[in-house]
């Protein structure tokens, strides 16, 4: 059993991000604001509220070296917030989007960030010193549907995207003046901006949650058809593996190490996947041990009583009836949609990570005594 600490910070959390020292968390409580909570004496206090967006904030990322927060929203805007004194000051980002922005991530060197949008485009933004704003270059006409998730390769040039057309694509995002051509790297440095390196058409349903392994050799993403895909040697001849799940689909994944992946989704319980020595990936177990409860609630109520029960209980049932009606008896009671690592400096593999979900909880998991996962 992994040690957990559960924090109920809101009624429903869209996404979250940690500060570089993990003392503060920025999250969106399913509205147009970003709340920053600070941990002080075992309690969470709301330190700042960032209010600039008009619609729900769909993506937040906190740069660990630059200490800047990037937020994107369904109102087609994005802001980069920097801490000046004790206030967070927004900097304008020229995104040139005509539909909602869905996801965002800082590049490993934090000189660029990527935004996936419902306009079927990906914006790569970099800072322009002369005008004090962030400008974007768009990757257009490559996606057939909304881009749901983006992930940077450790070399700061390659970007993987997933889309609701079921495909995962890898692009080169080399920008002259921002990136330096690496004479050692072979294929990625020849590619121009927006050039598609590889397109993976493995899922026949929507694809979410793409992530690179720490070395950048393996790519993992999930499909809504309850499958998770692992691709090794991304390049001209990739090796793909599918793992089919017997449960509800996943939403996001995280690489703990080169060989272990944690997936989270509609089951409200993180799932562990591992690769054995020959490189074959498979499902290991759920993180929270579940007792199989046969849920056949015996309702003897009349029709009108059923309405009253639904209206009176279901709306507020999350807090009181959580234990006996939650199918898994796990920690989260609603879909988990975001998983982030809590990296300790100097340690290669991830020992702690956090998940947030639609039940408004942020749960910090600790893999301290799971020796088989920390190989």
* Residues engaged in binding another protein (CB under 8 A): 12, 14, 30, 55-56, 58, 74-76, 98-100, 102, 118-120, 144-146, 164-166, 205-206, 224, 248-249, 251, 265-266, 295, 297, 299, 301-303, 306-307, 310-311, 313-315, 317-318, 321, 325-327, 333-335, 337, 358
Residue number, 154 or 317, with CB nearest to another protein:
317
Name the minimum Å distance from CB 374 to another protein: 31
220, 159 contact by CB (below 8 A): no
Residue number, 161 or 218, with CB nearest to another protein:
161
Residue number, 17 or 260, with CB nearest to another protein:
17
126, 134 contact by CB (below 8 A): yes
* CA pair distance 355, 276, nearest whole angstrom: 26
For residue 179, give both structure tokens: 């990136």
Is beta strand 250-255 parallel, antiparallel or unpaired with respect to 336-342? unpaired
Name the minimum Å distance from CB 278 to another protein: 33
Name the minimum Å distance from CB 359 to another protein: 9
Name the minimum Å distance from CB 36 to another protein: 22
For residue 55, give both structure tokens: 């619609």
Residue number, 54 or 87, with CB nearest to another protein:
54
Name the minimum Å distance from CB 362 to another protein: 16
Residue number, 121 or 257, with CB nearest to another protein:
121
136, 95 contact by CB (below 8 A): yes
User: Residue with structure tokens 């990296």?
Assistant: 343
* CA pair distance 73, 140, nearest whole angstrom: 20
Residue number, 332 or 352, with CB nearest to another protein:
332
Name the minimum Å distance from CB 135 to another protein: 21
Name the minimum Å distance from CB 74 to another protein: 5
Phi, psi of 314 (to 5 degrees): -55, -35
Residue number, 186 or 299, with CB nearest to another protein:
299
9, 362 contact by CB (below 8 A): yes
- Helix-, strand-, coil-residue percentages of the chain, each rounded to 5: 5, 45, 45
Q: Nearest-CA neighbor of 143 among 114, 159, 166, 125?
A: 166
């Amino acid at each position: 059993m992994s040690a957990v600490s559960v924090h109920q910070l809101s009624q429903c959390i869209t996404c979250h991000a940690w500060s570089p020292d993990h003392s503060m968390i920025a999250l969106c409580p399913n509205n147009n604001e970003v709340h920053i909570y600070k941990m002080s004496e075992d309690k969470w206090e709301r330190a700042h509220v960032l209010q600039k967006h008009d619609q729900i904030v769909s993506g937040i990322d906190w740069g660990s070296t630059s200490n800047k927060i990037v937020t994107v929203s369904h109102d087609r805007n994005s802001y980069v917030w920097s801490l000046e004194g004790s206030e967070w000051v927004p900097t304008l980002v020229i995104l040139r989007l005509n539909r909602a922005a869905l996801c965002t991530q800082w590049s490993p060197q934090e000189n660029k960030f990527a935004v996936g949008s419902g306009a079927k485009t990906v914006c790569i933004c970099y800072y322009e010193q002369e005008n004090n704003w962030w400008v974007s270059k768009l990757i257009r006409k490559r996606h057939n549907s909304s881009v749901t998730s983006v992930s940077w390769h450790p070399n700061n040039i390659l970007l993987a995207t997933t889309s609701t057309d079921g495909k995962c694509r890898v692009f080169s995002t080399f920008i002259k003046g921002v990136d330096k051509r690496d004479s050692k790297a072979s294929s990625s440095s020849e590619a121009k901006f927006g050039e598609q390196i590889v397109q993976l058409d493995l899922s026949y349903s929507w694809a979410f949650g793409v992530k690179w392994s720490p070395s950048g050799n393996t790519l993992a993403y999930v499909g809504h058809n309850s499958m998770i895909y692992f691709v090794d040697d991304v390049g001209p001849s990739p090796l793909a593996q599918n793992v089919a799940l017997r449960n509800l689909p996943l939403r996001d994944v995280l690489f703990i190490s080169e060989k272990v992946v944690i997936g989270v989704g509609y089951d409200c319980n993180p799932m562990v996947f591992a690769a054995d020595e020959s490189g074959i990936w498979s499902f290991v177990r759920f993180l929270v041990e579940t007792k199989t409860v046969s849920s056949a609630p015996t309702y003897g109520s009349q029709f009108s009583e059923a309405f009253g029960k639904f209206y009176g209980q279901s709306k507020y049932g999350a807090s009181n009836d959580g234990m006996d009606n939650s199918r898994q008896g796990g920690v989260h009671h609603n879909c988990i949609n975001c998983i982030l690592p809590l990296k300790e400096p100097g340690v290669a593999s991830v020992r702690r990570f956090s998940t947030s979900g639609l039940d408004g909880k942020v749960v910090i998991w600790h893999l301290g005594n799971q020796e088989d996962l920390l190989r």
